[in-house]
Chain A
């Protein structure tokens, strides 16, 4: 799980053009969205959906999944583990 979280952290920083953010700035349980967290917005949420499809073969069809599963790196990693498809390229422990 920690390896997947590390990978997700790097992918989100690169994919969302968070050039001013260092990996050490994002804790596994830090909120990703909103003013109290990384400050991601709705467009970033869509980018994360694209990231899940491109890198893990996971398609998010239910918008309700976004609220809980995208809350932090850890919840996102757990979501990936639950939904990973056979052809996904994610790192497994």
Chain B
């Protein structure tokens, strides 16, 4: 991970206005369950499609995405498209900082199977295009018209300190006025998404907000893990 410890913020950078966790066939927004599927027999793809239909999200391109992008899409949809955020919505000056451990391993395996088919494998363009983890950032950006800075880090564990420092630095320096941050991980038998929005100033709205610190993020990240 890059040494972000040298970044010094002159001001208290931000407040977390909302956060979402998707894990174990459940979706939590600000600590409350908003959707769940009983039992774990379903594959994660089936669960995400069920969530897409449950929330009546009309976005056909969802069905073309791979499982990592679908997970990121559903998690970000919980934060960026709810009615309660319409007047407090993330705008084009939003940056995105995402991390995961396994990159696109599930799609990589699928791509490998395609090109190794017995009679001369033909790579599938629709599969190959998702063998880059940044694509999930692209999908969210297209959906919500986000045109700010974006980055994705591969890390063994969620680098909370680095993400907090980096996002606070960007907000403090005026590079953006809000940041969508988090961890979106899918491996062959595990998935977990934790996303949150941090903003540059406290909004006078009637909902809980949290100071954007490493301690707070760590606590929220582990709360439904």
The judgment on whether A and B are partners is yes
Q: Chain A residues in contact with chain B, CB under 8 A?
A: 16-21, 39, 43-44, 46-47, 50, 53-54
Name B residues whose Cβ lies closer than 8 Å to a Cβ of A.
49, 60-61, 63-64, 122, 124-126, 129
- Using Cβ atoms and an 8 Å threshold, which residues of chain A touch B64? 16-18, 43-44
Q: By the criterion CB–CB under 8 Å, are A18 and B63 in contact?
A: yes
- A43's contact among B49, B60, B125, by CB below 8 Å, is which? B125
Complex CA–CA separation, A54 to B129 (angstroms): 19
24 contacts between A and B (CB under 8 A): A16-B64, A16-B126, A17-B63, A17-B126, A18-B60, A18-B63, A18-B64, A19-B63, A20-B63, A21-B60, A39-B60, A39-B61, A43-B64, A43-B125, A43-B129, A44-B64, A46-B125, A46-B126, A47-B124, A47-B125, A50-B122, A50-B124, A50-B125, A54-B122
What is the CA–CA distance of A43 and B49 in the complex, to the nearest angstrom?
21
Contact A47 B126 (CB under 8 A): yes
CA of A54 to CA of B63, assembled, Å: 22
Specify the chain B residue showing the minimal Cβ separation from A21. B60
Contact count A vs B, C-beta below 8 Å: 31
CB of B177 to closest CB in A, whole Å = 31
Which of B49, B63, B64, B124 gathers the greatest number of chain A CB atoms within 10 Å? B64
Q: Which of B60, B122, B126, B129 contacts A53 (CB 8 A)?
A: B122
How far apart sit A44 and B61, CA to CA, in the bound complex (Å)?
A: 11
